[in-house]
Chain A
């Protein structure tokens, strides 16, 4: 039984979405787990890796392994960062990864898969549409773990998101390099969110929520982007 985890908060949540990080701490501590935050952590290198800068991505991967190598479990509130560590570190580091990829968990996978929990003692009031982010779904394969957690929260009224598995159009630098296509994809996602009738759109990645949330605000759509951890922390 794991009773102590290192939190990899991700550079994006650290800098721009601290509430996702704080909520992750709240949930884990509520379950009696000691949370350690190694302050030397920075970034997993996903953006560099995906944009075609393998040297920089490798350096950041090496740093990640140095910082987190001593922990039995590393938990992060990001599907895409967890996927970067679990799916790409092995290749980037030529196997010199100290087993870190196998011990790194996205929050919903950690709660359901490692701890075997669905009800984590949350309560929430509101309608929620869940957007499965691409990397959590197809690279990390979280499956329905986030949905099972959401279903176990009293007060969460889950609404079906049409074509839920379609990409929101973020894709890191894709959103600016191919801004018009990215926007067309976002428009479809926002139409689906609107059609769901939910007041909240929930995901396991702050980056996709930043994209969807920025689009919702620009279009004046009164739907709130909310990280899964924030619902679970309520």
Chain B
């Protein structure tokens, strides 16, 4: 495909960090693709099984969506209530407009404690703001305690999946990594042995740590209770052992009432890991004397969320409870994995959330086009986010921003031609004429560069037949 500088859409897609370009690189990595195919196939099968068991699943989804919409409609009031509840329970609430402010607040809190390292619970919000880099820049060592996050961190990579950050790695790769980075040349690739090695490494960190950092799955405004859902128990160690606990949370994670957890704690585990009940669900409300951390800080992060909130068509993306069901069923993600999205949010949710949150320039601008609109994501989303419609909405915004390139011009010309019967029939005749040098035996197998050439890299195209349907219909009407 050629990319003329006159064609902004093509230029966008040709940027090295654009999705089509990064995807081409990812497709070449057959090992990673095999790992991802294997993992997503088994998770989606599990999910389908446990969801089918719940007779009122559709009602639960509707309830989840309704609670989230209610929250988003009065988010200002819900957040103020949350702040008051947390203060009343002995916690402190900080408001961060953007990533820089949030990082500054967290670094300041850790420094005030005089700590040189922190233990972390897996958190997308902190990935989003690149907190680890900010901490390292301030001379503070962040230690990821989720097994998969630890693997990714030791490898110096970025997570490739919301819930299974190391989905792109298999156990031989993990064994080699641990042998090198944990100083354990004796390790085999037995999963139990690998997990045990990580456990020993982390246990020391837990016992040393004075400060822990977590994200939050939910925060109930009426009681000020934070909820973290995890599978390994490491999160619970982080939220209970250290002296100081800092939680970084996107403002859309607030829910009005503690009892709303009833809905989400049913939807989330079945959708995400395919479990009936989540293994470790930690709930805490402020601080409690003689039990757990003596100081609790909640950092409320906007970082683009109020902008998303202002757009009614894009807003439902903020309902997301990060279950990753949409990612596991996505046929595009299945081929490319998460890194091609150049964002902590990959797959269908990433394709609608990242451009809205992280701005429309740069790496994420091509994401709304990274979908065949097959609709599998919408079918599984536990909070009924109509992802295909939001993708189309985001495409419209991208198109409106750009000068029209080849695609834009062709679609506009076609739009005009199709506005009248005469124009449409002229376009049909013109197509037949233009294809003449290309068509052979009723097929086109060699293509000029451009969009047709992109098609022709892996597909032939039937040639336009001598007679259109409408010409046949007219001939049929004529008396024999």
Contact = CB atoms under 8 A, between A and B. Distances in A.
Contacts of A169: 331, 372
B459 A181 contact: no
**Interface size band for B:** 35 or more
Contacts of B460: 214, 217-218
Interface stretch (A11-19, A118-126, A152-160): A11-19
Interface in B72-120: none
Interface stretch (B211-219, B247-255, B449-457): B449-457
Residue of B372, B420, B431 with most partner-chain A CB within 10 A: B372
Contacts of A171: 371-374
B396 A18 contact: no
B326 to A, nearest CB: 13
Contacts of A218: 445, 458-460
Given A11-B418, A56-B411, A166-B331, A134 B469 contact: no
Contacts of A179: 1, 20, 454-455, 457-458
Contacts of B398: 52
B468 A18 contact: yes
B454 A176 contact: yes
A189 to B, nearest CB: 9
Residue of B24, B331, B421 with most partner-chain A CB within 10 A: B331
Contacts of A173: 369, 407, 451
A112 to B, nearest CB: 21
A180 B411 contact: no
Contact of A43 (B19, B335, B372, B418): B418
Interface in A79-104: none
B171 interface: no
A183 B369 contact: no
Q: Determine chain A's interface SS by DSSP, over half rule.
A: helix
Q: Determine chain B's interface SS by DSSP, over half rule.
A: helix
Interface in A16-61: 16-18, 21-22, 37, 39-40, 42-43, 45, 47-54, 56, 59-60
A48 B470 contact: no
Residue of B394, B457, B462 with most partner-chain A CB within 10 A: B462
Nearest to B407: A173
A138 B375 contact: yes
Contact of A139 (B331, B375, B452): B375
Nearest to B24: A180
Interface of A: 9, 11, 13-18, 21-22, 37, 39-40, 42-43, 45, 47-54, 56, 59-60, 63, 134-135, 137-139, 165-167, 169-187, 210-211, 213-215, 217-218
30 contacts: A13-B469, A14-B469, A15-B464, A16-B462, A18-B468, A39-B470, A42-B424, A52-B400, A53-B396, A53-B415, A60-B415, A63-B418, A63-B419, A135-B373, A138-B376, A138-B378, A139-B375, A165-B376, A167-B372, A172-B372, A175-B372, A175-B455, A176-B1, A179-B20, A180-B23, A181-B332, A181-B335, A181-B370, A184-B335, A210-B462
Interface of B: 1, 9, 13, 19-20, 23-24, 27, 331-332, 335-336, 368-376, 378-379, 388, 392, 394-400, 407-408, 411-412, 414-415, 418-421, 424, 428, 431, 443, 445, 451-452, 454-455, 457-462, 464-465, 467-470, 472-474
